[in-house]
Structure 1
Amino acid sequence: MRTTFDRIRQAILFEGVALVILVTVGMVFLDLTLAGIGVIAVAGSVIATVLNYVYNLLFDLALTRQTGSAEKSLHARVIHTLGFEISMLLLMLPFVMWWLDLTFVHALLFDMSFTLFYLFYTFAFTWAYDRIFPAPAPISGY
């Protein structure tokens, strides 16, 4: 099991590396200013962090009320993931439209590209993190 320090380090590195990638891609390939993409990336990071806590708490409470346990089946995990991503999209879409002065369709495509990025990024980051900072071996008997 990972320590609190390790979890904090992982969260900070996860968000920091993502911000560097998103800001760089936004500036180089999308011709956005640092303020344009930087504010979107930081706002998205803050919103995702807060939403993650609240959404997971509410989802676990609802799941426990419905099934008697917070243990997630594959079906529950798919619903959990889709619900989180849709919630994130709904929260970010108006802000992206306003901040970047985009139409609904363009903001939706922009937001969906963020979602796609994070699907692959999360997989790659957690894989690399687990290789660089392996979790300690479980204590025997627990």
Structure 2
Amino acid sequence: MLNINPKRRRVLQAILYEAFAIAFVGPLLSLVFDKPASSTIGLAFVLSSIALGWNYVFNSLFERWESRQVIRGRSLSRRLLHGIGFEGGLVIILIPIMAFWLDITLLNAFLTNLSLLAFFFFYAIAFTWAFDRVFGLPASAGKQQATNQPLNNE
């Protein structure tokens, strides 16, 4: 296993995650919509860039909201709210771009986006598992410290 510092690990994980996603989604969109691969790989790059930017913006807004809540921590309902908010916002942003780029209806862009969401659900699980096998688990998921102080998982 390769061992790198946590910040570099997060950056590397994000870059590899998006690079493999672009490499898979671009050609797949080309095949499904009978568009040139150069165009759909470009679209995949744009969608990926937007997702990265939205991730930063959304998490900043969510954490600002979260810091004002009386109840602290991340319950299942708060995690569901976070996931729905992030993915819902991303769908709203991406649908018009996909419709324009692929020259399809908003409904077809929405259905395509739902298919991509399903793909990314499984892709994220598989990618993270493979990444952790190569680079090891992050400190937050590692074994408890010898001092018997629990790690902060929240």
Judge same fold: TM > 0.5, yes or no: yes
Aligned counterpart in structure 2 of residue 16 of structure 1, from 15, 19, 25: 19
Q: What are structure 1's unaligned runs of at least 5 residues?
A: none
CA RMSD of aligned residues (A): 2.0
Q: Distance in 2 between matches of 1:85 and 1:64?
A: 21
Question: What is the one-letter code of the residue matched to 1:86?
Answer: G
Alignment of 1:20-31 (within 5 A): 20-31=23-34
Moved over 3 A (4+): 136-142
Q: Distance in 2 between matches of 1:97 and 1:26?
A: 12
Alignment of 1:8-87 (within 5 A): 8-67=11-70, 69=72, 71-87=73-89
Q: What are structure 2's unaligned runs of at least 5 residues?
A: 150-154
Q: Distance in 1 between matches of 2:32 and 2:52?
A: 26
Q: Distance in 2 between matches of 1:112 and 1:2?
A: 35
Match of 2:152 in 1: none
When structure 1 is superposed on structure 2, of 32-41 and 77-86 the one drifting more is: 32-41
Secondary structure of residue in 1 paired with 2:17? helix
When structure 1 is superposed on structure 2, of 36-45 and 12-21 the one drifting more is: 36-45
Secondary structure of residue in 2 paired with 1:72? coil
Deviation readout 1:68-118 (Å, 9 max, x if unpaired) = 53x211100011101111100000111111111111111111111111111
Identity in percent: 33
Question: What is the one-letter code of the residue matched to 1:65?
Answer: R
Q: Distance in 2 between matches of 1:98 and 1:53?
A: 25
Question: What is the one-letter code of the residue matched to 1:31?
Answer: D
Q: How many residues align?
A: 141
Secondary structure of residue in 2 paired with 1:67? coil
